[in-house]
Chains A and B, each alone.
Chain A
Amino acid sequence: MPEENVDVLIIGSGHSGGMAAKILTEKGISCLMLNAGPIVDVKKDTEMKPAYSLPFRGFKEPGKLPHVFQSNEFNANTWVDEQEVPYTYDPQKPYNWVRVRLFGGRSLFWSRQSFRLSDYEFKGKSHDGYGDDWPISLADLAPYYSRVEAIFRVKGRPEGLPQYPDGNFVLDDSPWSGCMQRFVDAGKKAGVPVCKARSSEGVGGLASSVNLLLPDAFATGKLKAIPNVVVREIRADKNTGLASEVFFVDRLSRREMSVKARVIVLAAGTLESTRLLLNSKIGNSSGVMGHYLIDQIYGAGIVCSVPEARDGKATPGLMGGNALIPRFRNIDSKAKNFIRGYALNVYSSTGPMDPRNFAAYGEELQQKLESYHGSAFGAGIMGEVLARYENHVSIDKNVVDAWGIPALHISTKYTDNEFNMARDAVDTAVSLAEAAGFEVLSKNYDPNPPGYSIHELGTCRMGDDPKTSVLNKWCQSHDMKNLFVVDGSSFVSAGWQNPTMSILALAMRSSEYLAEQMHKGNV
């Protein structure tokens, strides 16, 4: 017999699964965590190597990971292999599904940008009439954001802008570098707020589930974790109608197993959680499961040079640093050809210039690279993608993964609202950079394919009405009270914000609610 009963089974070990495990175990609830991939041992699994010693000289292995633009020959083995876990799409609607199955998931490799959603996101429909409001507001989530920000040590500066809600920060009171100050001043003249960026400092350089959340959970003695098991199905009990048993396969041995649990918490990442629910045929009485897939627009932006920093004249006082322009469109005024808005990530660098910024070759290019070294300044979009019913995922019955589990078919595309927004972002960045006296070298108006941001959200959206939403405001299934989905699937809208802080705060809130309900005997 199993040595003890599983109170809560958590599927996934990233930010959301880690948070669920921490909260639940600290409240005395025993948890079992399943993760589809192995535990990383950085000492054993990595080595410093020169590019020339790799089989493809640092080029991506041909034909490998074509949808993971972030991959290269150094890190190729950290991503989910697209042949091992395939997905499909219509060739007219490409989608980049970027996945990590190592223990800790994508919390191992994220870019640390740490933002709160504002009521321009939670209550977007009330503001402009589009889409749906969330069943919660910033006030509901704010206390949880504060606690998450403390754990992740979010560095930032209060700005007092309603669309860029302040938080519980490690104060960033560093001065702007010279070039950033010029950009801030240009923004002020144009009515565009240029603010301090916000990012998780973490501990020891890492801000991951594996060092900030899971150790607390393991320390309670209440968490067990099994790596290398791929869940194929959640089955409901015929008598109670509740989720009761999870079936999984050992990734390496192919041995089939199952485990029963009182409560099941899905934290496998938006699209894997939804794929599992769709394959299990549960929790979808509303019919909206898989719909309203959203992400964020990335890829459009500009690269400039700060003339005063050229020819060896760059100093740390002039160059370096980051800034963030939070959404400023459609707050007090109305943009002419799109709704909602975008943020711009702004950076400057003291390093080498990318040669692609010069239409030159040979000796001429070398001279440019030397002259422009240390003068780089750039800005890139993070834009809101509208939630639409027709952007959806479903099960592709004709394709299975390495363990015979039916694959996901993804059907989503951007529309004029996204393209117009990207165009406005680039034009705005160009005009601010030129006003600051920078030379614009390159610009790109075309967003990367959907999915590239690795911010896939929605597909099990939350709401008060069980007919139009999959989860309630506690990330709890409307259909099965002992089924929770605590990753990004519950999002009603995406905003422009990197979603990590919001996923963590929602997972924390949802897990505390679950613990309370379990103690009351309601679940």
Chain B
Amino acid sequence: MSYTVYAVEHVPAILLSKYPTPALYAEGKLYLFGESLKDVSGIEPVEVVDIESMTLTNDELDAYVDHLLTVLGPAEVRLSKTQGQYLYHTRFKPVNKETT
């Protein structure tokens, strides 16, 4: 189980079709999903940045995320639940809070 991140301008339409209101992060630059493109469509993404499989300290994770934010591309970025929750609690909150 992991999180999937896409830059807003590169998000696959099929992901948005299933999840039209995904959490929006990094000042509106990133969408976060609970399923990958392959989970939803069976299609492998063209490019993957698999942070989940990396063994990173929190500092290294922060630095890696800082780097990724400067080079946003079409890649699907995968985070573990633990990594995603760490970033959620330390520096990122969704910017698109729904209200009634």
**A in complex with B:** no
